[in-house]
Amino acid sequence: MKRVMAFVAQYGIYVALAAEFLWFGLTLPGTFWSSGNLENVLRQNSFGAVLAVGMTLAILTGGIDLSIGSVVALAGVSAVSALAHGGGIVGALAAAVAVGAVVGLVNAVLVTRVRIPPFLASLAMMLIVRAVAMKVTRGETVRVPAEIDAAFSGMMTGRLPVAAMLAVVLAAWCLLVRTPFGRHVYAVGGNVEAARLAGIRVRRVLTGVYVLCGALAGLAGVMLASRLAAGDPRSGVSFELDAVAAVVVGGTSLFGGRGTMWGTLAGVFFVGFLNNGLTLAGVESFDQQIVKGCVLLAATSLDLWRGKESA
Amino acid sequence: MTLLALSGVTKTFPGVRALDGVSFDVAAGEVHALVGENGAGKSTLIKVLGGAYVPDAGSVLLDGESLPSGDTLGVARRGVRIIYQELALVPELTAAENVFLGRELRVRRLGVGVWLDRRGMRDAAQRVLDDLGAGVDAGAKVTTLSVAERQMVEIARALQGDVRLLVLDEPTSSLPSADAARLLDIVRGLAKRGIGIVYISHRLEEVFAIADRITVLRDGRVTGSAPTSQLDRRSLVRLMVGRDIADEFPRRTEAPGDVVLDVRGLAAPGRLRGVDLTVRRGEIVGLTGLVGSGRTSVGLALYGAIPSTGSMHVDGSTFAPRSPSEALAAGVAYVTEDRKASGVFPVLDVGANVTITSLPMFARAGWIDARRAHAAATAAAAEFDVRSAGLGQAAGTLSGGNQQKVLLARTLLEERKVLVLDEPTRGVDVGAKTEIYALIDRLTRRGLGILFISSELPELIGMADRIVVMQGGRTVGELARGAATEERIMELATSEVAA
């Protein structure tokens, strides 16, 4: 029984994802498994996955970054402005990622130097960044210039967003598992005192994490802007919470130090397929929220239970 | 040849002289034990040595050259390694990753050298672990390892690079005795390789078994230092504890009444393995033992705060509390050793702190009669001699002694039979201590049975009618008032008991 529970806690999300995939496929014949639907779900969740990768890094250190939803909006607006000023697609991408990285750096300074808890620091930045996005656009959606609209919006229609998502997850996995920096992320989240005594520069690790998290939110912002063919200062609201939910469902501990990128990817798509399947099955959107809430509670209970076992 | 030499090291913290002109040296290949009571200054000394603290005066030399003070990494680079009592491993990383934490081996791949050399680290860590005879798989996650195995990982980590001096702080405090014996063998082996060892332990048998020399610290000073062959257990204990007991204790006159608390075979998984004790009405029973002996666990088990098994009776009726509220209902109360973390509510005022657990007493039809509660708090604060700027002062701003009195007032607002006091004078200054002792004495005249848990032997000898000594989660002996001396208590607390 103990072994079964340990297995569920470690690989449960993959089993759950597979079970969900089978269940919806069999109960919704002809629709759920259609290639059009599957591609759509992959594309729809691609920027959510990019956000969740950044959030995984923050949560692994025992922190959190609530500002990423606002960063998505500001980065989207910045990307479209860059396009409008003739920066091209590369310029748009650079602008968005840079905006995200700067916000991440501010978060990092607040957390490591001013010593504000990450929850509060990033909550404040969430408000400020959102307000900046509204101010610079005066609350209006910024349109992509007509002559480059097709090229920009086209990015999100093909396989590119899914490829970008997979590249980000793969790179993040390499970073976490194959580089000293990645191992230090686990060390800081798992036992910050041990990390310090081992000579790890804890502040540097945290700074890297928040800058990466912000930059990834910037990337997600371009992806969303391309999908919308516009920079919307109202976009990205509560995306940070969706990301937290996906990360936790994917088995990462909110206390830090434990979790994997593949788990996060599975968490994103577990929630993504859940939304999709329930919609296809005609479940009302309010009921969908209830189901999602219950899934989150189940995942968290499992995490708490596991924490107790290893203590 | 002298490897390490500390001379005249002094370190002062606000209000405390933690180290006062301490000199201490270690030769290469020597095991030098450092002993002393809690608070004697051992930890401070290690921190100065390791570069975590900058001493106010004195020098720390390794091979005749001074170690960089206040620079832990610089000290580590000179070959000084410290293994702290609290193991410092990252749970979700493997043994090998922990061994190389902060000094990871890298490998060039895809044209860049940022990648971890996982195979190399694993092989190298495995070699070190095998050399130690640790039987630990270097690829195993730390969460899956036992305490003894984790200790081996710590040692393997400390042995990375060029090691000259190894400091072990209470390395066996949480090890079963077979593992502890193996650890001693390993330490001996390391000394044979020429590494200087500073060995800190409360277990005197171990110290005599392994040390070439022993230095005793008390109140921040060296009270003795000699080759092990010139010391015996008795003289060592005297050097550790020998201080005068001032006349700060009330004269105990109360003759104990009937048994109010009877405990037989109390056990709690991982903490207690067999505790027997009785407390009579009007009696103060002292309970002591070294850190990790299970003193506090006894209090928590009696209070229903941790699950336990065994036979307990209060006033002759079976007592098996599953929660603090059940214990309180049976008349057993516990006052925590950690006032700040689990005692007072710092932002609430003194009055609220006193009445908060007894509010139903003052309720009429569900509404609290504030006037009655206030009156009760006023009376209790007066009775327990709480000195505050009125009941409205926030409890967190009171001195430690007054916080303790607030807790006593709260606990005894309702009628109790047995009171468990856990380190009631920790962090309390001398004057307030005497007041608290007098209060405790007065409580026994009400017929209360008191279990007084303390690590401060002078106060137990001064206060308790009997002293029960614990070791390794069980009671190992009992000393009557008059027969109890610090030496005898320490002997019981550290003697080798068949497991």
The pLDDT of residue B174: 67
Q: Is the pLDDT of residue A301 over 50?
A: yes
Tell me whether residues B114 and A200 touch, CB distance under 8 A.
Answer: no
Interface contact B146, partner A, CB < 8 A: no
Q: Is the pLDDT of residue B220 over 90?
A: no
The pLDDT of residue B108: 85
The pLDDT of residue A165: 95
- Going from the C-alpha of B266 to that of each of A70, B294, B322, B454, B467, the distances in angstroms are 57, 11, 14, 19, 18
Closest chain B residue to A205, measured at CA: B102
Highest mean pLDDT among B378-382, B392-396, B494-498 belongs to B378-382
Separation in Å, CA of A190 to nearest CA in chain B: 5
The pLDDT of residue B246: 47
Separation in Å, CA of B42 to nearest CA in chain A: 19
A5 within some domain? no
Tell me whether residues B88 and A194 touch, CB distance under 8 A.
Answer: yes
A271 within some domain? yes
Closest chain B residue to A190, measured at CA: B90
Give the range among A62-71, A201-210, B171-180 with minimum mean pLDDT: B171-180
The pLDDT of residue A211: 98
Q: Average per-residue pLDDT in chain B?
A: 87
Tell me whether residues B89 and A257 touch, CB distance under 8 A.
Answer: no
Separation in Å, CA of B104 to nearest CA in chain A: 6
Whether the CB-CB separation of A11 and A250 falls below 8 Å is answered with: no
Q: Closest by alpha carbon to A78, among A221, A217, A211?
A: A221
ipTM, two decimals: 0.81
The CATH number that applies at residue A225 is: 1.10.3470
Name every chain A residue with its beta carbon within 8 A of the beta carbon of B104: 180, 183
Name every chain B residue with its beta carbon within 8 A of the beta carbon of A197: 72, 84, 88
Coil, strand or helix: which one is B483?
coil
pLDDT in tens, B168-190: 988 876 676 677 888 899 999 99
Give the range among A9-18, A31-40, A127-136 with minimum mean pLDDT: A9-18
Candidate from A195, A198, A258 with C-beta closest to B92: A258
Overall size of chain B counted in residues: 499
Could you list the residue range(s) of the whole structural domain that residue A274 is in?
11-30+42-310
Q: Using 50, 70 and 90 to split pLDDT, how confident is the model at B499?
A: very low
A213 within some domain? yes
Name every chain A residue with its beta carbon within 8 A of the beta carbon of B114: 179-181
Interface contact B322, partner A, CB < 8 A: no
Q: Average pLDDT, stretch B443-462?
A: 89
Give residue B349's Cα distance to chain centre.
30
Candidate from A178, A187, A199 with C-beta closest to B115: A178
Tokens of B52: 């975590």
Tell me whether residues A194 and B101 touch, CB distance under 8 A.
Answer: yes
Give the range among A187-196, B11-20, B287-296 with minimum mean pLDDT: B11-20
Tokens of B176: 């079963």
What is the SS3 string spanning chain A? CHHHHHHHHHHHHHHHHHHHHHHHHHHCCCCCCCHHHHHHHHHHCHHHHHHHHHHHHHHHCCCCCCCHHHHHHHHHHHHHHHHHCCCHHHHHHHHHHHHHHHHHHHHHHHHHCCCCCHHHHHHHHHHHHHHHHHHHHCCCCEECCHHHHHHHHHCCCCCHHHHHHHHHHHHHHHHHHHCHHHHHHHHHHHCHHHHHHCCCCHHHHHHHHHHHHHHHHHHHHHHHHHHHCEECCCCCCCHHHHHHHHHHHCCCCCCCCCCCHHHHHHHHHHHHHHHHHHHHCCCCHHHHHHHHHHHHHHHHHHHHHHHHHHC
Q: Using 50, 70 and 90 to split pLDDT, how confident is the model at B242?
A: low
Whether the CB-CB separation of B254 and B280 falls below 8 Å is answered with: no
Tell me whether residues B103 and A199 touch, CB distance under 8 A.
Answer: yes
Q: Kindly tell me the burial class for residue B67, based on how many C-beta atoms sit within 10 Å of its own C-beta (0-12, 13-18, 19 or more).
A: buried
Candidate from A180, A184, A257 with C-beta closest to B91: A257
Q: Is the pLDDT of residue B498 over 50?
A: no
Give the range among A48-57, A289-298, B9-18, B118-127 with minimum mean pLDDT: B9-18
Q: Using 50, 70 and 90 to split pLDDT, how confident is the model at B318?
A: very high
Separation in Å, CA of B243 to nearest CA in chain A: 36
Tell me whether residues A186 and B92 touch, CB distance under 8 A.
Answer: yes
Q: Using 50, 70 and 90 to split pLDDT, how confident is the model at A299?
A: confident
Q: Kindly tell me the burial class for residue A91, based on how many C-beta atoms sit within 10 Å of its own C-beta (0-12, 13-18, 19 or more).
A: middle
Higher pLDDT, A303 or B282: B282
A287 within some domain? yes
User: For residue B42, which amino acid is it?
Assistant: K
Tell me whether residues B73 and A199 touch, CB distance under 8 A.
Answer: yes
Name every chain A residue with its beta carbon within 8 A of the beta carbon of B76: 199
Q: Kindly tell me the burial class for residue A206, based on how many C-beta atoms sit within 10 Å of its own C-beta (0-12, 13-18, 19 or more).
A: buried
A3 within some domain? no
A304 within some domain? yes
Q: Average pLDDT, stretch A264-289?
A: 93
Separation in Å, CA of A118 to nearest CA in chain B: 21
pLDDT in tens, B108-162: 888 888 889 999 999 999 999 998 888 899 999 998 888 888 889 999 999 888 8
B83-B89-B92 Cα angle (round to 5): 170
The pLDDT of residue A136: 94
The pLDDT of residue A267: 95
User: CA–CA separation, B11 vs B20, rounded Å?
Assistant: 7
The pLDDT of residue B245: 39
In a mutational test of the A interface, the residue from B80, B84, B86, B92 whose CB has the highest number of chain A CBs within 10 Å is B92
User: CA–CA separation, B229 vs B235, rounded Å?
Assistant: 12
pLDDT in tens, A102-138: 999 999 999 999 999 999 999 999 999 999 999 999 9
Interface contact B438, partner A, CB < 8 A: no
Q: Average pLDDT, stretch A65-81?
A: 96
Tell me whether residues B101 and A195 touch, CB distance under 8 A.
Answer: yes
Total domains in chain A come to: 1
Coil, strand or helix: which one is B71?
coil
Interface contact B145, partner A, CB < 8 A: no
A2 within some domain? no
The pLDDT of residue A1: 56
Name every chain B residue with its beta carbon within 8 A of the beta carbon of A190: 90-93
Inter-residue long-range contacts of A24-30, CB under 8 Å, 24+ positions, other chains counted? A24/A273, A24/A276, A24/A277, A24/A280, A24/A281, A27/A281, A28/A277, A28/A280, A28/A281
Inter-residue long-range contacts of B16-20, CB under 8 Å, 24+ positions, other chains counted? B17/B220, B18/B44, B18/B220, B19/B44, B19/B45, B19/B48, B19/B55, B19/B220, B20/B219, B20/B220, B20/B221
Candidate from A198, A257, A258 with C-beta closest to B101: A198
Q: Is the pLDDT of residue B247 over 80?
A: no
For chain A, percent of residues with pLDDT exceeding 70: 95
Separation in Å, CA of A197 to nearest CA in chain B: 8
Interface contact B114, partner A, CB < 8 A: yes
Q: Which of residues 66-105 of B touch A (CB under 8 A)?
A: 72-73, 76, 84, 88-93, 97, 101-104
A122 within some domain? yes
Tell me whether residues B115 and A198 touch, CB distance under 8 A.
Answer: no
Candidate from A179, A186, A199 with C-beta closest to B116: A179
In a mutational test of the B interface, the residue from A179, A185, A191, A260 whose CB has the highest number of chain B CBs within 10 Å is A191
Overall pTM surpassing 0.80 (yes/no): no
Q: Is the pLDDT of residue B244 over 60?
A: no
Q: Is the pLDDT of residue B80 over 90?
A: yes
